[in-house]
Amino acid sequence: MLIGVLVSGSFIAQAQNAAPVATPAAASPTNDLMQFFLLAIITVFGIVIFRMTQVVALLSKQLIEKDKAKSTNKVTSIILLFAAFGVLSNGAFAQEATTAAESTISFAGVSGVNMYVLVAALVVEIFAIFYLGSLINSLHKRVFDIKVLETKAVKKSLLPSWWHDLDKKILTQAVPVEREADVLLDHDYDGIKELDNALPPWWKYGFYITIVVAFIYIIAYHITGTGMNPTQEYAAQMEEARLAKEKFDAENKDKVDEANVPMADASGIEKGRAIFKENCIACHGQLGEGGAGPNLTDNYWIHKGSLNDIYASIKNGYPDKGMQSWIIKFNPKEISQIASFIKTLNGSNPPGAKAPQGDLFVEASQDSTSNTTLKDSVVVAKPQ
C-alpha cells in the first residue's frame, strides 16, 4: 500500500509541476487527440502499476510471515527505492517544466511542456512496470520456493539472456515445457491437445488501449464535433490548397496563361525554336511551311493567330484534328516560348510552303483603316 501511495504521489507532483506552465493559445483537434491518447496510455499504465503494487504487497506480506528478518530488509529497500524514485521524478518534472516554460517548441501539435511531461510520465511508468514485474517474479519464487529447471541439453539462445527472460515473463508469459501439464485442457482433437496459454500482455494492453482510443474518437468526432470527418478534412485541405495557389499566382512573376502571354526575348525564342524542331516539324515542317498540319508562316489561321491564340492552341490542342495537348509535356513558360518562335515565322515565305488554310488574320495594331475599335485582332474571311 505504501508503494502505491508513493507512486501515486509521484504523479500528483508531476501534475502540480506542469500545471503553472502556460499552454499554447490555439488548440487544434490533432493537439487534443494526441494529448488524450497519451493521457489514456498513462492511465492504463497507472492502473497496471497499481495492480502490480497490490501483488507486491501481498507477496511481501506472505514473505514476511515466512522469513521476517530478510523480508523486512527486502521490503524496506523496495520502499526506499520507490521513495527515491518519486523524489527524483518530481525534481526532473519540475526542472523540465521550468526549462520548457521558456520554449515554444511543439511536437505533433502538442506544446513542448506538455509533451515533456507526458513522455516523462510514460517513461516513469514503463520503468516501474518492468521493475515491478521483476520484483513480483522474484518474490513469487521466494514465497513458493520455485526453482526454474535448467538443462544443458537445451541449445543456448542466440538472443541475450535478459531478452529471453523478458520475452518469457512479460512479453509472452510463456509456460515452460516442463510445466505444460498445468495448463493442458481436456480437449482432444484426434490426438491434438490444447494448452490454455495466456495471451501476450503486450497484445492485451494494446487491445485495451485501442478501446480507450475508440471512445476518445467517438467523443471527439461524433459527439462533441471537435474533430473533422474525412469529408470535412478533404474540403479543408482543398480550400487550403486553393488559397495557397491564389497566393502563389499573385506572387509569381512568371505566370503565363491564355490571357497573359508575353513575347519572349531572344533567348526564349531560341529555346522555343529548339522545342519546335524537336517536337513539331513532323506536322508543320522544318521551317513552319506546313505538312500534315497547316502553314505557320502566312497570315491565314484556322484558330486565329494572335500570340494568346497560338499559346491556347498549343496548350489545349485539337484532338479532333490530330493535334495533341502539349501542356502534359511542357510548362506554361515553355509553351509561351514556342508561341513566340512561331510568331517570328510570319512572312518568312519558306520554299514549298503549303497553301493557306483558314481565315486571314490581321493584328489589331497593324489595322489602321478600320473604323471599329479592335482589342486583340481582326479576322477577315479568306478570299475565294
Render pLDDT for 184-207 as a digit per residue (tens, 0 to 9).
888 888 888 888 887 888 888 899
DSSP letter assigned to residue 33: H
**Residue 126 to residue 52: CA distance in whole angstroms:** 12
Instruction: Show me where the domains of the chain are located.
Output: 2-147+199-221, 266-380
Single-letter residue type at 330? F
* Cα separation, 167 vs 163, whole angstroms: 6
- pTM score: 0.35
Confidence (pLDDT) at 125: 87
CATH number of 266-380: 1.10.760.10
Grid cell, residue 114, equals: 506538455
Alpha helices in 145-175 (DSSP H): 161-166
d(CA 345, CA 337): 13
- pLDDT category at 79 given cuts 50, 70, 90 is low
Tell the burial category of 128 from Cβ atoms under 10 Å away from its Cβ (0-12, 13-18, 19+): buried
The contacts of residue 43 (CB under 8 Å, 6+ apart) are: 212
96-127 core/surface letters (b: 16 or more CB in 10 A; e: else): bbeebeeeeeeeebbbbbbbbbbebbeebbee
Rounded CA Rg of the chain: 40
Percent of the chain with pLDDT over 90: 13
